[in-house]
Amino acid sequence: MKRILLIATGGTIASTEDGNGLSPALTGEELAQSVPEISGLCELDVVQPMNIDSTNMRPSDWMRIRDVIVEGYADHDGFVVLHGTDTMSYTAAALSYLIQDSPKPIVLTGSQKPMGNPFTDAKLNLYQSLLYALDEHSHDVSIVFGGVAIAGTRARKQRTMSFNAFISVNYPPIAYIRNDRIVRNGLHGTHQGESPVRFYDNIDPRVFVLKLTPGVNPGILDALADSYDAVILETFGIGGIPEFGESGESFQEAIFRWVDSGRTVVMTTQVPEEGLDLGVYEVGRAYADHPGILRGDDMTTETLVAKTMWALGQSRDAAEIQRLFYSQVNHDRIPMEIMLLALFVIFLVMFVGKTGVRAVLCFILTILTIWKVLVPFFLKGYNPIWIGIAFTLILSVMIIALVYGFGRRCASAVSGTFLGVLVTCLLGMLFTDLFKIHGAVMSSSESLLYAGYQDLNLTRIFMASIFIGASGALIDLSVDI
């Protein structure tokens, strides 16, 4: 039986009402005893390095949690950290840099309601976190919350009250947990053991986040210089920085003065999704290649705080800080995935020639059509079945014609594909009704409803997804026949 170390740090999950508002009071042992279903899952050891509201979590507390994990690393198969939700993303990111390439899972979880609340989400979150920590494919640092496992560098608290409090930003969730079943994302494979776990014991907490607002005075950087070694600058849009503040002082001069003094600036965006690109607009291009200015790309601000603290804690050399900052850790950046995709395209074209080029065009066309046509039509409330059938037919004709050309083979393959889609559609509708499957079983459906799409027919969208998802295999089968 595997051995898990449960690390209790406080948070809402451990809170009780004492007349002055909720505050952490329950111990780790009491929390574990509140979920009797976990008793037979594993050998469970419990430690309590602190019992605080996560609002009071500091970088020094990250180090205390890190030390507990390091001390118990050899004797345990995995770790579950009970933590408040408000700063959980920061702690998950910090642990991702302090403990790298861990073959043993380090899982953070908590709850939106205290363990003692009759409608709490704490019991299921704790149970599923242990399930995930016990799974042989789990590794590195992650957050398990509301039935979703998220890489520790990609999590953000998006909702203050709902049970699906956390989202994965600019990267797919690692896995979904449904009852006792873990459904994994193929991008997050099993730890291969190429390199041993690496522990780091230094961080520099002198990092400040500055959010630009219209008219902000660039002189604020001079005011921060005595107290901070790095500033994470949340810019406008895709990387826009004003030329002047309300006082008329130049932002460019203030930023260059900061970095030329040996300090670090990390540029990111206030927009939650899709990231930063300083080269798009004139108001950002001047900073794109200036020494000492680092680009946050599509990383979250929480992760940028932790990574900058970690990088500055390892070195004061600008070149080494830059190397550490741009290294990929626990999926915090996506260059490796882009590189693999590029290699796939190159080899496809090399070995298949013109047909490979046409296949790549088909892939791009499919993605754009789903993104720009299918999803908007679904969100506008059009009948998903009819839209799905039309989408599948049109796309099948385009793909088969692009790859194989027009002709009798094309007509025959399109006919076979469309017949298969209709049969799959009818079977999907029949068995969805027969087994009374509701469309809300789909991932992110709850988020969709909270976002203002309560009138969507999720069940019909689920039916449409069945035959749309099967259409690729049907195209291959029809062409082969």
Q: Active-site residues: which are they?
A: 12
Nearest alpha carbon to residue 59 among 307, 322, 265 = 307
Helix/strand/coil for 176: strand
d(CA 339, CA 331): 14
Given a contact cutoff of 8 angstroms between Cβ atoms, the answer to whether 91 and 108 are in contact is: yes
Which of left, alpha, beta for 276 (phi over 0: left; psi -120 to 50: alpha)?
beta
What's CA 219's distance to the chain center, in Å? 35
CA dihedral (473, 476, 480, 481) positive or negative: positive
Q: What is the DSSP letter of 56?
A: G
Q: C-alpha dihedral over 310, 316, 320, 324, to 10 degrees?
A: 10
Residue 339 CA: distances (Å) to CA of 342, 344, 346:
5, 9, 10
- Which residue matches tokens 């680092």? 294
Reduce the secondary structure of 218-260 to three states and give it as a string. Answer: CCHHHHHCCCCCEEEEEEECCCECCCECCCCCEHHHHHHHHHH
Nearest alpha carbon to residue 246 among 212, 278, 288 = 212
Q: What radius of gyration, in Å, describes the C-alpha atoms of the chain?
A: 25
Task: Using CB atoms within 10 Å of the CB of residue 246, give its burial: 0 to 12 exposed, 13 to 18 middle, 19+ buried.
Answer: exposed
Token pair recorded at residue 439: 């469309």
Given a contact cutoff of 8 angstroms between Cβ atoms, the answer to whether 266 and 294 are in contact is: yes
Nearest alpha carbon to residue 296 among 371, 166, 423, 209 = 209
Nearest alpha carbon to residue 300 among 120, 442, 131, 158 = 158
Parallel, antiparallel, or unpaired: how do β-strands 166-168 and 198-199 relate?
unpaired
Residue 373 CA: distances (Å) to CA of 278, 379, 451:
29, 10, 20
* Count of C-beta atoms within a 10 Å radius of residue 12: 25
d(CA 276, CA 297): 5
d(CA 177, CA 293): 40
